[in-house]
Amino acid sequence: MHKRSFFISLLILFPLLFACQNNKSRSNAQKEIPGLAKLEPQPRYDTMLQALQLLQNDPLLQKASLGYLVVDVTNKNPVIVADYHAKKPMIPASTLKIFVTGAALEYFGKQVIPEVTVTNQMSVNWRSSKLLRKIGGKVYQTHTTAAGAKAILDFWSTKGVDTEGMNFYDGNGLSRNNAISPKQLVDALYAMRTSPYFDVFYESLPLAGLTGTLHKAMKGSAAEGRVHAKTGTIGKVKSFAGYVVTVTGRQLIFSLIVNDYDCRVKLMKKKMEDVMISMAEI
């Protein structure tokens, strides 16, 4: 009788054990972002690479810190088409809001769509800080910046983003103590493509020449209506990060950050917009 009970128990337990293993495997797979391979130079990217090289060699940026990463995700396996100091933590300015708004959409869903849209479109600092604290309250039952920052780092880590070196001093990007690398921005943007709220997130990013903080930018160029990107500006810091659908239908994810430049903001913005235009022309 005891033997019979033992075998019945085994029959019940075996499927459960295998189910747990399969679920664990699926969970781990969802957390991983495919490894990025460096693409061999191809003529289609020449104009963009030249624009990036001009920026890299610009005399006005010789004392500045420049970092960028451009990834082509048109095909199944994403490939790096341009990178420079991509893993270096830099002051991100308001591109930091990408991490806050992306996490907020998955934590709270439809109720925060209006808040996320306004936050990204118009780069509203107090709204982003509020979302950060709201996340802290949900995850750690403490509506503070510190709790929100920890929750966000944990969230993106589960999405496969390597958060090493990342620092959230605030929830809006105003502080120079914030630190995010170009690769971390691209990885977050890549991870959002599998989010159930990706369409909302994508549309919340300003569209070149048409909406939000990019409504006057790059009008009449190939980038108009093709670049969805979060902008970032504080003293001596300018950044952009987002998605590009090129004139030939290729899909790019990029981040571009400059710290400590020696020129007017308007001129720095124009130099970086020239790079985004060259991306759209691919």
Residue 255 lies in a domain: yes
Residue 60 lies in a domain: yes
**Burial degree of 263 (CB within 10 A; 0-12, 13-18, 19+):** middle
The pLDDT-based confidence of 168 (bands split at 50, 70, 90) is very high
> 159 Cβ partners below 8 Å, 6+ apart?
31, 33, 188, 191
> 80 Cβ partners below 8 Å, 6+ apart?
36, 37, 38, 39, 69, 70, 71
The pLDDT-based confidence of 38 (bands split at 50, 70, 90) is confident
Residue 6 lies in a domain: no
**Cβ contact 227:84 at 8 Å:** no
pLDDT tens per residue across span 15-27: 333 333 333 333 3
Q: Which CATH number covers residue 262?
A: 3.40.710.10
Residue 1 lies in a domain: no
Indicate the SS3 state at residue 81: strand
Residue 22 lies in a domain: no
Overall domain count for the chain: 1
Residue 26 lies in a domain: no
Residue 7 lies in a domain: no
Placement of tokens 């958060």 in the chain: 163
User: Does residue 256 have a pLDDT over 50?
Assistant: yes
Residue 261 belongs to domain spanning: 40-280
CA distances from 171 to 128, 137, 177, 179 (A): 6, 14, 12, 12
Residue 190 lies in a domain: yes
pLDDT score of 34: 58
